Each structure stands twice: as C-alpha cells, then as structure tokens.
Chains A and B, each alone.
Chain A
Amino acid sequence: MTSTQSLEYLSGFLPGHKHAMHNADNPLVTIVDQQLESTLDSVDASEDRAKVLASGMGFPEEDAYQIGYAVREALVNAVVHGNRYSANKAVHFVMSRVGGSLHIMIEDEGRGFDPEEQADPLANENLLNQSGRGIMIIRAFMDDFVIEKTERGGTRVVMKKSLPPGT
C-alpha cells in the first residue's frame, strides 16, 4: 500500500482532511482516544477494551477476538520496539467508527520502523525465527493495514475492519 493510500485511511482520524471518508452520511465517531503508558499492563488493558468495544459495535465474537489480537500486536510493537518501555514516551491509541468500519490508529514515539527491512517470516529459512510474525498476523486479521513513519520519526499503524453487512 502506498503512503497516498494510507492517507485515505488516516483521514478517518483527521477531521477536514481532503481525503476524508467521513461526511454527513458517514460521520466519524471517536470511540477511544488515549495516551497510554509504555507498559505491558497498558497493552493488556487496551486489548481487552478493544475487544469489548468491538463487540459493542456489533462485530461477531471471532472478529472481536481478531481486533483485540491486532491491537495487542501493534501495541506490543509500539511499547517494546518503539518506545522501549520508556516512562517518558506515550503510545497514542485511537479507535473510531466511520460508517460501517472500525479504524484503529496506534502511534509511538520511537525511532521508526521499516517493515521492508524485516525478514519474510514465511520464507523457509526464517520459519524457525523466534520473532517477526506480529505484522503478518495483523494483516491476516484486519481488512486493511498500513504502517508509516510519523512526522516526529516514530511509527504509526492504521488498520481497518468492516462490520458485517447489515450491522
């Protein structure tokens, strides 16, 4: 996915943006907008919260589990690899509903992360690596996923999952 496309997804979090997908018919409703401490307790609590809120939006149980899972993996990356557990750095966690979709943004204050530099976890020579599978699982569980560098040099991920038709 290109960064231009990613902007379209990010627009769900940026009122008035030229690519904004929200409008009078599909208003943006912010469900969560939090600055989290860079701890595993924050990860656990936010995973549970995301799952409960997704269920409340009408996602079936399996979808809510996948959303919670994706939130956990993205937050672990932000806390462990991005902010490196720093007490002086926060993780920005946003969940929004735009029309029939849930948008989630997670942003850290680390040094940035280039997914292109990561070893392909599905390559035979990497199958026994201990780490590097989180992003692949997020991609499998969510409808859309983008990752990019923030203006301040950290990492921002945005992911989206659509509600089942008729929800």
Chain B
Amino acid sequence: MSVKLTTRKVGDVTVIDATGRITLGEGSSTFRDTIKEMTVAGNKKILLNLADVTYIDSSGIGELVSGFTTVSNAGGNLKLLNLTKRIHDLLQITKLYTIFEVFDDEAKGLASFN
C-alpha cells in the first residue's frame, strides 16, 4: 500500500499522520506534494507522525530530508513523531538522527514548537 497522509491542526501546529509505505514512485511524490502544499499555504510548524509507516526506502528517506529542507527554507520546522524501530535504525545508519528533532510523545512534540 502506498502512503496515505491525513492532516490535522492542533493549535498552530499541523500534524501529518502517515500510513503505509513511503517508497520510490507514488509514495514519495505524495509526500513531497503534501509538504509543498502546506508550506505554500503558510503552515510552517509540521509534526510528522510515522507510527503507522510500515516501510520507508532510501528514496522515502530522501523525501523526508527534502521535506525538512523545504519547510526550513520557508522559515519553519519539520519534526518527527513516533518512529518505528526500523525507521529509527535507518535514521541512525544514515546519520539523519542528528538532523531531525524526534519525539515519541505527541504532547511533547507539539509543545516543542512554542
């Protein structure tokens, strides 16, 4: 199953709940388009919930980085929430753990923006 993204507003933070696979092709373009649309619409505080992402390949990881850059360049922040062990391991291998702010508690993630 390709990735499905659902967005919700909590205060001035946009939470994206992602479900499924973020891989080369449809999954990664869906993610890229959504982040761009949000940034254009002025949403600059984004918390990406990866709890239900079952798989992410290196292209998907590239999309996370691209999303991070897009939001940062617009003066905002993209932070990650609820990494599975596999995604956590991938961020360790790729050293991206040093780039992303990561939370395992939504309330703490939301609070970190203010």
A: residues with CB less than 8 A from B are: 40, 43, 65, 69, 72-73, 76, 80, 121-122, 127-131, 133-134, 136-137, 140
Contacts and interface: CB of A to CB of B under 8 A. Distances in A.
A128 B69 contact: yes
A133 B63 CA distance: 12
Residue of A69, A130, A136 with highest tally of chain B CB at under 10 A: A130
Nearest to B98: A127
Contacts of A129: 62, 65
A128 B100 CA distance: 11
Interface residues of B, number: 21
A136 B59 CA distance: 13
Interface string B71-105: 00000000000000010001001111011000000
B12 interface: no
Contacts of B69: 128
A137 B58 contact: yes
Contact of B57 (A72, A122, A140): A72
A115 to B, nearest CB: 14
Nearest to B28: A130
A65 B86 contact: yes
B65 A137 contact: no
A73 B68 contact: no
Contacts of A43: 24
30 contacts: A40-B24, A43-B24, A65-B86, A69-B57, A72-B23, A73-B57, A73-B58, A76-B24, A80-B24, A121-B95, A122-B94, A122-B95, A127-B98, A128-B65, A128-B69, A128-B99, A129-B62, A130-B62, A130-B63, A130-B65, A131-B59, A131-B62, A133-B61, A133-B62, A134-B57, A136-B93, A136-B94, A137-B58, A137-B90, A137-B94
